[in-house]
Amino acid sequence: MVNLELLSLLEATGTTIYMVFVSALVGISAGLFLGIILFLTGHDQVLENKSIHNVLNLTVNIGRSIPFIILLICLIPVTRLIVGTSIGTNAALLPLIVTTIPFFARITASAFSEVSHGLIETSEAFGASTWQLVQRVLIPESLSSLIRGATLTIIGLVGCSAMAGAVGGGGLGELAINYGYERFNTLVILETVIAITLLVQLIQYIGDRLARHCNLKWVGASIAGIASICLLSQVYAYLPSYTHVLRVGVINGEDVSLLKVVQKLAKEKYGLEIKVIGFDDYVQPNVALSNGSIDANIFQHVPFLNAQIKSHGYHITPVAKTFVYPFGFYSNKIHKLSELKRGDMVAIPNDPSNEGRALLLLSDNHLITLKPGSSLFATPSDIAENPYDLQFKELNVAQIARSLNDVAIGGLTNDYTKPAGFKVSDAVVKESPDSPYANVVAVRSADVHRSDIKKLISAIHSKQYLQATEKAFPNGAAIAAFVPIQL
Amino acid sequence: MIEFIKLNKSYHNKNKTFNALSDINFKINQGEIFGILGQSGAGKSTLLRCINLLVRPTSGHVLINGCNITELDRKSLQAKRQKIGIIFQHFNLLESQTAFENIALPLKLQNKTKVDINQRVNSLLELVDLSDKKEALPKALSGGQKQRVAIARALASEPEILLCDEATSALDPESTQNVLALLKKINQALGITITLITHELEVVKSLCDRVALLHEGQLIECSDTFSLFSDPKHSVTKNLVNQAFVAAAQQHEIKSSKHFTVRLTFVGKDSDLPLISQLIKQFNLTVNILCADITKVQGKTIGYTLCEFLGSEEQISQSLSFIQSTSIKLEILNHG
């Protein structure tokens, strides 16, 4: 269970503020524009145009009638096209903006229709152009309503941004759902609800003040203020560690609880404060490490890290091995490798990383020889010698678990042993502690010599952590590989 | 200055056509205060709005200094409109802006510099005697003050023409006098042609040089103000002038009276004549005065008297002949 601290609450609040206000700035501007056109093309107005007005009117009504969660999902392909990804805070911005535009367009049009027709006639009589009518009469005269509408819109966006958790948008809503609701942690829900309430109160207070003493200068100042808050909320994420707390990222689940042991030991023995931060996917921990949101992560093996470095250009260095979660070959037919016969069928995973891992394990056990210079992503075509004439069948790992009756041996990752009815200790052959697939402690390359990192490594390479892990991963499911990596 | 030629305006609503203005032809001269008088629904507002094309006529032309504004493109029309100020019954001030900013509006629309705007608005505030209300919002001003702000705004871009749309109808009598005096001052000091529409005879009487009377979309009378009051031609005009002096209820009583009833209008060289006492002495007639009033139009006096003549037919006919020999106007309302 995650111990929610003030820091992650603040971070989530920052993300929410960023999502809400960026989408508000863009959405309200666009909505204002659309609303102006909607109003001006209306009946008896200066740009009266029935067909344009009707089309806009229909568009706005349709836009307003789509529930946000549906819009969020419908927009995924568009988001991917524009933002490049459909996951994350920036991907959540697009649907938030799209939902804001028709809402604020309607608010604008109805605020304008409150302006007396006499005033519109007056400005026309004084020779105002259409744009001057908007700028000098409609907007100033309805400013108060527009501000109240904008306040309403922004508060609505706070609610929508909570749903943005559905696309990994982050923020308070996601915190409440992922760490509170999903993990039955009432405290987290309560804390986030309080944070959201405070945020809404603040927005309403500022909105009311502005609406009462409105003039364009104040509105301009507030927009500038909001823009800088958005920037600050993002800069905050890039600030280097500002406390003596060492922030360590792991994947949510078993690892979070296991790290408590390290946390306790580090504090008692080395006086080092560690904060454990849980992630839900395998990409963010390196992103966070790279941008300084965390100081170390423990979730990946070196081949994975290298691939990430290659594609993202991270300056991340592994400093110590932790455990090997061994890949192994399992069989319903034989118990030892020596029982393999010529021409036997061997199932290996078909994904690049695990296929290479499987072939490397066979090669280490002298069943095949790989061509010199073969990478960790070898395929059967990289086999130089196959003295036993083994027949390789490339399958999805989950499929291998079900197909063991049809092959002599099949390679499985740790996760699939249990569904296939095996303990890791049942493996015909499995990786040893010196496997290159050992998980590692990774840090920013500049930090490798930091003393707190060394203390962290010592706390990880401890008897306490070993025992706790072996208890959680019994029967050899986790093999300690407690060696520092020589730099 | 302003000339209407064969002006028509009709509105189509479903299958019905409503003629708001039919075949209007008249001229408003440079520098005069011209009143357009009529009951509500007579087409006054429509006619006024044809001058700056807030309402576009269905057919016909409006010439301003010889320029046919109905043929101007959008840009030229906007420029032309900047030379035609307008004030409204309900002021139409920007509620969110101070008096100063309201007056500055036309100047801002013309992208004048800040310095120019400051100078011009301050002098206008002085002109309408509101320098101390510069920073006040409209809601803090009285009706009369609002209309003065509106007048200053209308004058901001130094117009040649000022249009007044029932400018005093929403004001109390004192403010009305105030505003009318201001309009007069503007007309005299700045030489601006003022065209106003009103349903109030008082306004026409105290302000206008000439008057046009509209009735059901038609121009029924157009004359100088004195003639309108002293010698109304059209029955509608007569009625209107009558109403100004005799309450409607009383008029009804006169019509059902058993006695010979006349209205005497004291105008011209004999307006000072002691007519009634002469009738009594000379023709031995009994005269019963029902109602009498005296008013000044354009500096000249007009007196009205409603009276019953009681006497023999001969006495009455002699009296009538006598009256007809003077400049005093006679109108028989009831033959008894």
Whether residues B27 and B175 share a domain: the answer is yes
Can you tell me the distance from the alpha carbon of A162 to that of A196, in angstroms, rounded to the nearest whole number?
9
Q: With bands split at pLDDT 50, 70 and 90, how would you rate the model's confidence at A3?
A: very low
Asked whether the predicted pLDDT for residue A7 surpasses 80, the reply is no
**B285 neighbors B315 (Cβ within 8 angstroms):** yes
What pLDDT shows up at residue B250? 64
Q: With bands split at pLDDT 50, 70 and 90, how would you rate the model's confidence at A86?
A: low
Whether residues B124 and B260 share a domain: the answer is no
The rounded Cα A457 to chain-centroid distance in angstroms is 27
In angstroms, how far apart are the furthest CA atoms of chain B? Answer: 80
Residue B172 lies in a domain: yes
* Number of domains forming the structure of chain B: 2
Whether residues B276 and B227 share a domain: the answer is no
More confident residue, A329 or A279: A329
* Mode of pairing for the β-strands spanning A409-412 and A345-349: parallel
| Closest of A406, A5, A387, A30 to residue A188, by C-alpha | A5
How far from A421 is each of A327, A417, A424, B171, B231, CA to CA, in Å? 15, 6, 10, 96, 119
Whether residues B37 and B180 share a domain: the answer is yes
| Closest of B41, B40, B70 to residue B58, by C-alpha | B70
In the three-class reduction of DSSP (H, G, I as helix; E, B as strand; rest coil), residue A16 is classed as helix
Whether residue A125 and residue B78 make contact (CB cut-off 8 A), yes or no, is no
C-alpha triplet A303, A441, A235: angle, nearest 5°: 100
Best of B51, B92, B166 to disrupt the A interface (most A CBs within 10 Å) is B92
Token code pair at residue A456: 């962290």
Residue where a domain terminates, one of B184, B214, B237: B237
* CA atoms within 13 A of residue B137's CA, in its CB half-sphere: 9
What pLDDT shows up at residue B145? 94
Q: How many residues does chain A have?
A: 487
Asked whether the predicted pLDDT for residue A484 surpasses 80, the reply is no
C-alpha triplet A216, A218, A219: angle, nearest 5°: 65
Residue where a domain terminates, one of B237, B271, B303: B237
| Closest of A115, A344, A423, A178 to residue B93, by C-alpha | A115
Number of other CB atoms surrounding residue B126 within 10 Å: 11
Whether residues B87 and B223 share a domain: the answer is yes
What pLDDT shows up at residue A183? 59
Residue B243 lies in a domain: no
Torsion of the alpha carbons at A41, A43, A45 and A49, rounded to the nearest 10:
30
Q: Find the chain B residues whose C-beta atoms sit closer than 8 A to any C-beta of A.
A: 52, 54, 77-82, 84, 86, 88, 90, 92, 94-97, 105-106, 108-110, 157
Asked whether the predicted pLDDT for residue A76 surpasses 70, the reply is yes
What pLDDT shows up at residue A452? 87
Q: What order of strands is seen across the sheet that includes strand A439-444?
A: A273-279, A245-251, A296-301, A439-444, A316-321
Whether residue A125 and residue B94 make contact (CB cut-off 8 A), yes or no, is no
Asked whether the predicted pLDDT for residue A208 surpasses 50, the reply is yes
CATH classification of the domain holding B278:
3.30.70.260
Residue B227 lies in a domain: yes
| Closest of A64, A405, A325 to residue A393, by C-alpha | A405
CATH classification of the domain holding B136:
3.40.50.300
**Secondary structure, 3-state, B145-156:** HHHHHHHHHHHC
| Closest of B151, B140, B116, B145 to residue B130, by C-alpha | B145
Q: Which chain A residues have a beta carbon less than 8 Å from that of B97? A: 140
Residue where a domain terminates, one of B237, B268, B296: B237
| Closest of B106, B278, B243, B32 to residue A128, by C-alpha | B106
Whether residue B92 and residue A121 make contact (CB cut-off 8 A), yes or no, is yes
Residues 207-236 of chain A whose Cβ lies under 8 A from any Cβ of chain B: 214-215
- Enumerate the H helices of B52-89 as residue ranges: 74-81
Can you tell me the distance from the alpha carbon of A447 to that of A248, in angstroms, rounded to the nearest whole number?
13
In the three-class reduction of DSSP (H, G, I as helix; E, B as strand; rest coil), residue B37 is classed as strand
In the three-class reduction of DSSP (H, G, I as helix; E, B as strand; rest coil), residue B261 is classed as strand
The mean pLDDT value for A47-57 works out to 94
How far from A283 is each of A289, A356, A377, B79, CA to CA, in Å? 10, 21, 20, 63
Asked whether the predicted pLDDT for residue A236 surpasses 60, the reply is no
What pLDDT shows up at residue A235? 63
Can you tell me the distance from the alpha carbon of B49 to that of B2, in angstroms, rounded to the nearest whole number?
13
Residue B79 lies in a domain: yes
Token code pair at residue B54: 């807030």
What pLDDT, in 10s, does the model give residues B250-296?
Answer: 666 666 678 888 888 888 888 888 999 999 999 999 998 888 888 88
H/E segment holding residue A212: helix A186-212
Residue B118 lies in a domain: yes
Whether residues B147 and B229 share a domain: the answer is yes
Whether residues B267 and B226 share a domain: the answer is no
Whether residue A214 and residue B96 make contact (CB cut-off 8 A), yes or no, is yes
Interface residue A116 vs chain B (CB under 8 A): yes
Asked whether the predicted pLDDT for residue B165 surpasses 90, the reply is yes
Can you tell me the distance from the alpha carbon of B174 to that of B198, in angstroms, rounded to the nearest whole number?
17
Whether residue A123 and residue B82 make contact (CB cut-off 8 A), yes or no, is no
Check residue B212 and report its DSSP letter: E
Whether residues B232 and B258 share a domain: the answer is no
What pLDDT shows up at residue B22? 92
How far from A338 is each of A126, A334, B268, CA to CA, in Å? 100, 9, 143
The mean pLDDT value for B242-255 works out to 62
Best of A120, A126, A133, A145 to disrupt the B interface (most B CBs within 10 Å) is A126
Whether residues B160 and B278 share a domain: the answer is no
Check residue B199 and report its DSSP letter: S
Token code pair at residue A335: 């118990």
**B162 neighbors B134 (Cβ within 8 angstroms):** no
Residue B74 lies in a domain: yes
More confident residue, A381 or A419: A381
What pLDDT shows up at residue A182? 61
Residue B106 lies in a domain: yes
Residue B254 lies in a domain: yes
Can you tell me the distance from the alpha carbon of A137 to that of A198, in angstroms, rounded to the nearest whole number?
35
What pLDDT shows up at residue A150? 94
Q: With bands split at pLDDT 50, 70 and 90, how would you rate the model's confidence at B249?
A: very low
C-alpha triplet A55, A60, A61: angle, nearest 5°: 100
Can you tell me the distance from the alpha carbon of B293 to that of B241, in angstroms, rounded to the nearest whole number?
12
How far from A377 is each of A283, A351, A352, A469, CA to CA, in Å? 20, 9, 6, 29
Q: Which residue among B79, B88, B157 places its CB closest to the CB of A122?
A: B88
**B93 neighbors B67 (Cβ within 8 angstroms):** no
- Enumerate the H helices of chain B as residue ranges: 44-51, 74-81, 99-109, 114-127, 143-155, 173-190, 201-207, 225-230, 235-245, 248-255, 275-283, 313-324
Of A211-215, B28-32, B241-245, the range with the lowest mean pLDDT is B241-245
The mean pLDDT value for A468-485 works out to 86
What pLDDT shows up at residue A253? 77
Residues linked to residue A349 through DSSP beta bridges, in sequence order: A395
Whether residue B96 and residue A132 make contact (CB cut-off 8 A), yes or no, is no
Report the share of chain A in percent with pLDDT over 90. 41
Whether residues B226 and B281 share a domain: the answer is no
Can you tell me the distance from the alpha carbon of A101 to that of A153, in angstroms, rounded to the nearest whole number?
10
Check residue A136 and report its DSSP letter: I
**B147 neighbors B175 (Cβ within 8 angstroms):** yes
**What are the phi and psi torsion angles at A479 (to 5°)?**
-110, 120
CB within 8 A of A395, min separation 6: which ones? A347, A348, A349, A350, A403, A410
* CA atoms within 13 A of residue A36's CA, in its CB half-sphere: 15
Whether residues B166 and B124 share a domain: the answer is yes
Q: How far apart are the first and last CA of chain A?
A: 34
Asked whether the predicted pLDDT for residue B248 surpasses 80, the reply is no
Q: Which residue among A125, A140, A214 places its CB closest to the CB of B81?
A: A125
Average pLDDT, chain A: 86
CB within 8 A of B184, min separation 6: which ones? B33, B207
Q: Which chain B residues have a beta carbon less than 8 Å from that of A121? A: 54, 92
Whether residues B276 and B142 share a domain: the answer is no
Q: How many residues does chain B have?
A: 336
Can you tell me the distance from the alpha carbon of A175 to that of A13, in angstroms, rounded to the nearest whole number?
10
Can you tell me the distance from the alpha carbon of B318 to that of B324, in angstroms, rounded to the nearest whole number?
10
What pLDDT shows up at residue B182? 93
Q: Which residue among A124, A129, A140 places its CB closest to the CB of B94?
A: A140
Which structural domain, as residue segments, surrounds residue B275?
248-335
What pLDDT shows up at residue A4? 43
Number of other CB atoms surrounding residue B136 within 10 Å: 15
The alpha-carbon gap from B89 to the nearest alpha carbon of chain A, in Å, equals: 10
Query: With DSSP H G I counted as helix, E B as strand and the rest as coil, what are the percentages for chain B, rounded to 5?
Result: 40, 30, 30
What pLDDT shows up at residue A213? 79
Q: Which chain B residues have a beta carbon less than 8 Å from that of A132? A: 109
Token code pair at residue A429: 């052959």
Token code pair at residue A205: 């207070």
What pLDDT shows up at residue A59? 94
More confident residue, A117 or B271: A117
Can you tell me the distance from the alpha carbon of A243 to that of A6, in angstroms, rounded to the nearest whole number?
13
